[in-house]
Amino acid sequence: MKKREFLKVFGVGTIGAIALSSITWGCGGTEHKKGLKNWAWIHPLESSDPSHSADEWKKLLTNLKRWGIDSALLLTQNSSIISQVLPIAKQVGVELHAWIIALNWPDKTTMKEHPSWYVVNGKGESSVDKPAYVDDYNWLCPSNPEVVEFMKKRVLELCTIDGLAGVHLDYIRYPDVVLAPAHKSKYNIPQDDFVHPASDYCYCEVCRSQFKKLSGVDPVTMSDQATNQAWLNFRYDSVTNLVNELYDTAHKSGKVLSAAVFPTPYLSKFRVRQDWVKWKLDYVMTMIYHSYEGKPVEWIETATREGVEALSGKFPYYSGLHLAQLTPKELGLATKLSLKAGADGFVVFPGNKMSEEYWKYIEMGIS
Ligand SMILES: [Zn+2]
């Protein structure tokens, strides 16, 4: 499976302090209820012709603005694309953030020069040589101080771009430990909810020595690797510490930091070791892609409430809604249920697929 297809299948696609967000809320062109803010995860355009693409960007962003979207999360780390889109976004009144794939880093040069930066599973296999699930599931280890510096550099480069509002982290997690029901059946793996060594990360030298320093135990020698609470906490904290460093990096440059995360606090920890309620963020976007979990549309309300209640207002919460899983009418219901459950707004994926029809039902839901 190619990266792009995989991103689609896995629903990637999704975004920074309460004080900052209260300034930006309500500054958009579309009238919202007080405090409400809506977002779109958008992909770069297919066209490589700059003169054509300027017109296409204007059309997309103008439409999004008309459809109640205040901020766009643009999937690129390419400063020339960002520089092209920024003035257009400013002109139409859409705030722009750079959306980046954080730790899934199938870069051949990095793998060759720094194989020790990559995660190792419970069988001792590196994700460089034996990636889980798909060929490019090569993941950086968040515990490694050199990876932390590398990630800070990536974020800092984006933070030097004038006019960019912030950086949005996606794939800021471990590789999937336990896949959601809709994904599990696609792979030749045990179809249960247990943690198996082949998808249990990370047992790299850095993780082993850091955990041994903390607990006195080398995790490879433990008989309860899958359930040991201290070892689980170490992995949650490893991602949390990285996010917190990146938050400080962004804020020192006057930018905000946000992240795309799994649907609920429980599922995020269980599936990918994200303990996002503890993170330092300006905004969080949950990917509440109900079909992947085998749930009905109504589950969006339950999942949103779990997240909102766990956060207790620590930072704004946006329900991420997958257009491919929702008819226009269902999207209207999903936005309504998200707001009822206490979300500060919603984020649609992919924003490039938004339409007048979808907006008609959203408007009915939120008016
Ligand atoms: Zn590691």
**H or E element: which one contains 150?**
helix 145-159
pLDDT in tens, the chain (367 residues): 343 333 333 333 332 222 222 222 222 334 565 569 999 999 988 766 666 688 999 999 999 999 999 999 999 999 999 999 999 999 999 999 999 999 999 999 999 999 999 999 999 999 999 999 999 999 999 999 999 999 999 999 999 999 999 999 999 999 999 999 999 888 878 888 999 999 999 999 999 999 999 999 999 999 999 999 999 999 999 999 999 999 999 999 999 999 999 999 999 999 999 999 999 999 999 999 999 999 999 999 999 999 999 999 999 999 999 999 999 999 999 999 999 999 999 999 999 999 999 999 999 876 6
**What pLDDT shows up at residue 45?**
83
CA distance 242 to 173: 10
Phi, psi of 66 (to 5 degrees): -65, -30
- Gap from CA of 157 to ligand 1 centroid (Å): 25
**What pLDDT shows up at residue 10?**
37
Q: What is the CATH number of domain 3-107+143-181+239-366?
A: 3.20.20.80
| pTM reported for the whole predicted model | 0.91
- Gap from CA of 203 to ligand 1 centroid (Å): 5
- Gap from CA of 208 to ligand 1 centroid (Å): 7
Structural contact between residues 141 and 206, judged by C-beta atoms closer than 8 angstroms: yes
Token digits for 228?
């040991």
- Gap from CA of 251 to ligand 1 centroid (Å): 27
One-letter identity of residue 290: H
Residue showing tokens 């209640």: 309
**What pLDDT shows up at residue 284?**
98
**What pLDDT shows up at residue 46?**
72
Number of H helices, E strands in the chain: 13, 8
CA distance 285 to 301: 14
- Gap from CA of 67 to ligand 1 centroid (Å): 43
**What pLDDT shows up at residue 23?**
24
- Gap from CA of 162 to ligand 1 centroid (Å): 35
Residue showing tokens 């994700």: 127
Structural contact between residues 274 and 262, judged by C-beta atoms closer than 8 angstroms: yes
**What pLDDT shows up at residue 367?**
60
- Gap from CA of 238 to ligand 1 centroid (Å): 9
**What pLDDT shows up at residue 191?**
80
CA distance 21 to 39: 13
The structural domains of the chain, with segments of one domain joined by +, span 3-107+143-181+239-366
Which residues make up the environment of ion ligand 1, defined by Cβ < 5 Å?
A: 141, 143, 202, 204, 207
**What pLDDT shows up at residue 22?**
27
CA distance 269 to 132: 18
